[in-house]
Chains A and B, each alone.
Chain A
Amino acid sequence: MRDAFLDRLTELAAADKDVVLLTADLGFGVFENFESKFPGQYFNVGVAEQNMTGLAAGLALEGKKVITYSIANFPTLRCLEQIRNDGCYHDLNITIVASGGGFSYGSLGMSHHATEDIAILRALPAMSVVAPGTVWEASEAIEALVKGDGVGYLRLDKTVADENSTPLFSLGRSIRYREGVDVTLFATGGILRDAIQAAELLQELDIDAGVVSMYSIKPIDKDAIIAAVNETGGIVTIEEHNIDGGLGSAVAEVCMDSGFIPKKFLRIGLDNQYSSIVGSQNYLKAHYQMDATAIVKRIKMLLE
């Protein structure tokens, strides 16, 4: 997913000299080609995320389209007030890219688990929050955010769903990868893979589950949510993120605000805890009951 992001960003930088990439000293072996191709469009600002975000604001005030890059929570929570005051209040074109959504860096420990970022960033006005589920979605997302207005957050994941590209990407929309009438699974980020696997396993149990990639959490595709409420037997949200304030909350807000109440509703995510367990992304997803097997089990219970 990171390679796809960088490939598309390289195209954008070649086409527009105002595209500037800042990294807070992460991306060893990743950005060398970009740096040599585009002098004056790449700066390693050191391990200093507050300054990186302030610099981004200063550059964007002068017309640059700035990408700030780091991993996990460093480009988001560490410098949250700079994002809010410097970026969002000034309506600046800044795209924050975090590599390592959810448990991507599972074995590195809780400091590297990005499990509240979506909730916190989607609380900010003038902000877009995007968590792609496929490689193709990631490359479309960086272009949409760099070319769009305002501050954007792109959450990159190590896990990806192996789905084909479609011509339908735009902020505020979603992609239905699988039809199904019994229940609709809304997933955001690479855990889309587990949602699709779960739908395939459910099919063997004669449960017909649709799967939608909600790559755009803010703005969110209200029409897709309302259609799922009206046309299917229930909604399950799936995110590698704390259960409070993320995709599940965003979907529930749309349902309550619009008056379209799903017959069944379940949020799958991390249940208000930090992980102190060591493990790979797959191991931790299974441990915290959000891998395909756990999703199947919980949906069976929901529909019983």
Chain B
Amino acid sequence: MTKDLALKIRKHAVNMTSSGGSSHIGSILSIADVLSVLYGSVMNYKAEEPKWSGRDRFILSKGHAGAGVYAVLAETGFMSLDKLKTHYQDGSDLSGHVSHKGIPGVEFSTGSLGHGLPVAAGMALAAKINKDKHNVYVLISDGECDEGSNWEAALFAPYHRLDNLVVIIDRNKLQSIHSTEETLGLEPFVDKWQAFGWNVVDVDGHDHEQLVNACNSKITGKPLCIVANTTKGKGISFMENQVLWHYRNPQGEEYEAAMRELDDNA
């Protein structure tokens, strides 16, 4: 079921970036499986009541992959599938970087990197103060970990025992110009998060069973960090591991080939 949802997200992403002429298709394909597992299996929510107080919260901190969130929200009933056609169009409220205004289900707008984790920590702290039982999920990119604000929050969350906070890191190892290791060098990445006091689980970010199990591997008193090892552009072979597809959008034969490959491997 979550596999079907992931495929739908990927196809929407190709359509949306192609018709809108927008960037970041590689970044969206990278997180399609994480999104489908969260919305298709892990998180509690009511699409017909987006502000239901008992819902789990989700923030996409790598806001440039916002089309993926719009797609999963449309597939899960928060908005119509037709609305996706307005993505990146003049006058639309579906911007290239995820925005909450006028879009039920989006908790928080992002686009500048390094904002999501501190805000998610604040939401998790509020839940602790209020003795609420829901969880707060935040999806960040590995390149985003260059931002110091993440490490401020990475210190805060374990100290305050925010075990209702889950950060999922899209570890596709590519950032805007080069690989993460050719930019600042994030490794040893898992060790860094462990050293900050997080319960760290290192998984294949395209394996749905591993992702579900990771979300369920909570330890009392510790925030959970899931390092989801992913492939940027996953599912469309000519986009995989290519920085070019951080920027380029598929048109003409590339569009046809992308959709064909997704269908063939469905």
Interface residues of chain A, those whose CB is within 8 Å of chain B, are 20, 40, 43, 45-46, 48, 50-51, 53-64, 81-82, 85-86, 89-90
- Count of A-B contacts judged by CB separation below 8 Å: 89
Whether A54 contacts B126 in the complex (CB less than 8 A), given A82-B115, A86-B119, A90-B100, comes out as no
Is B120 a contact of A85 with CB atoms below 8 Å? no
> Is B221 an interface residue when CB atoms closer than 8 A count as contact?
no
A49 to chain B, nearest CB (A): 9
User: For the complex, is B153 an interface residue (Cβ under 8 Å from A)?
Assistant: yes
Whether B107 pairs with A55 at a CB distance below 8 angstroms is: no
B residues whose Cβ falls under 8 Å from a Cβ of A? 100, 107-112, 114-115, 117-127, 129-130, 148-149, 152-153, 155-156, 160
Please tell me if the beta carbons of B121 and A55 are within 8 angstroms of each other in the complex: yes
Q: Is the CB of A55 within 8 A of B125?
A: yes
With contacts A48-B156, A90-B100, A90-B109 known, is A54 near B119, CB below 8 A? Answer: yes
Chain A nearest Cβ from B152, distance in angstroms: 4
Query: Given contacts A46-B155, A51-B153, are A58 and B118 in contact (CB under 8 A)?
Result: yes
A58–B126 contact, CB under 8 A? yes
User: Nearest B residue to A58 by beta-carbon distance?
Assistant: B122
Contacts of A86 in B (CB 8 A): 108, 115, 118-119
Min C-beta distance of A42 to chain B, whole Å: 11
Contact, CB under 8 Å: B108 / A55: no
A90→B108 contact, CB < 8 A: yes
B155 partner, pick from A48, A53, A62, beta carbons under 8 A: A48
Question: If A48-B152, A55-B118 touch, does A85 touch B111 (CB 8 Å cutoff)?
Answer: yes
Partner of B122, one of A46, A48, A50, A57: A57
Give which listed residue, A20, A50, A64, A85, contacts B152 with CB less than 8 A. Answer: A50
Q: A81-B112, A85-B115, A90-B109 are in contact. Are A59 and B122 (CB under 8 A)?
A: yes
Is there contact, CB below 8 Å, between A58 and B152?
Answer: no
Q: How far is the CA of A46 from the CA of B107 in the complex (A)?
A: 26
Instruction: Please tell me which one of the listed residues B112, B119, B127, B130 contacts residue A57 in the complex, with CB atoms under 8 A apart.
Output: B119
Tell me how far the C-beta of A151 lies from the nearest C-beta in chain B, rounded to whole angstroms. 14
Residue of A nearest to B122 (CB): A58
Asked whether A62 lies within 8 Å of B126 as measured between CB atoms, the reply is yes
Bound-state Cα–Cα, A86 to B160, Å: 22
Chain A hits for B111, CB < 8 A? 85
Q: How far is the CA of A85 from the CA of B122 in the complex (A)?
A: 15
- A51 CB → nearest B CB, Å: 4
A48 vs B151: C-alpha distance in the bound complex, in angstroms?
A: 10
Which residues of chain B come closer than 8 Å to A54, judged between CB atoms? 115, 117-119, 121-122, 149, 153
Chain A residues near B125 (CB, 8 Å)?
Answer: 43, 55, 58-59
> How long is the Cα–Cα vector from A21 to B114 in the complex, in angstroms?
23
Cα A55 to Cα B160 in complex, Å, equals: 12
Question: In the complex, what distance in Å separates the CA atom of A56 from the CA atom of B118?
Answer: 9
> Are B156's CB and A62's CB within 8 A?
no
CB pair A61–B107 under 8 Å, yes or no, is: yes
A58 B156 Cβ-Cβ under 8 A? no
**A55, B119: Cβ atoms under 8 Å?**
yes
Besides A46-B152, A51-B118, A55-B122, 4 more A-B contacts (Cβ < 8 Å) are A51-B149, A54-B149, A55-B153, A58-B122
Best-surrounded residue of B121, B125, B153 (most CB of chain A within 10 A): B125
Contact of A58 among B112, B123, B148 (CB under 8 A): B123
Residues of B within 8 A of A48 (CB): 152, 155-156
Q: A50-B149, A51-B149, A85-B109 are in contact. Are A58 and B155 (CB under 8 A)?
A: no
Assess the B127–A62 pair: CB atoms within 8 A.
yes
**Contacts A/B (CB < 8 Å), 28 sampled:** A20-B129, A43-B160, A45-B156, A46-B156, A48-B156, A50-B114, A51-B121, A51-B152, A54-B122, A54-B149, A55-B119, A55-B125, A56-B122, A57-B108, A57-B122, A58-B118, A59-B123, A61-B108, A62-B122, A62-B126, A62-B127, A62-B130, A63-B126, A81-B112, A85-B112, A86-B108, A86-B115, A89-B109
- Is A58 touching B120 in the complex (CB atoms < 8 A)? yes
Residue among A20, A45, A90 with the most chain B CB within 10 A? A45
> Pick the contact of A61 from B123, B129, B149 — CB < 8 Å?
B123
Complex Cα–Cα for A272 and B126 (A)? 42
Considering the chains assembled together, what is the distance between the CA atoms of A90 and B123 in angstroms?
14
Centre residue among B110, B119, B120 by max chain A CB count within 10 A = B119
**Top 6 nearest A-B pairs by Cβ distance?**
A58-B122, A54-B118, A51-B152, A62-B126, A55-B122, A48-B152
Distance in angstroms between the alpha carbons of A296 and B61 in the assembled complex: 54
Using known A-B contacts A48-B155, A54-B115, determine if residue A64 contacts B109 with beta carbons closer than 8 Å. Answer: no
Residues in A with CB closer than 8 Å to B107 are 61
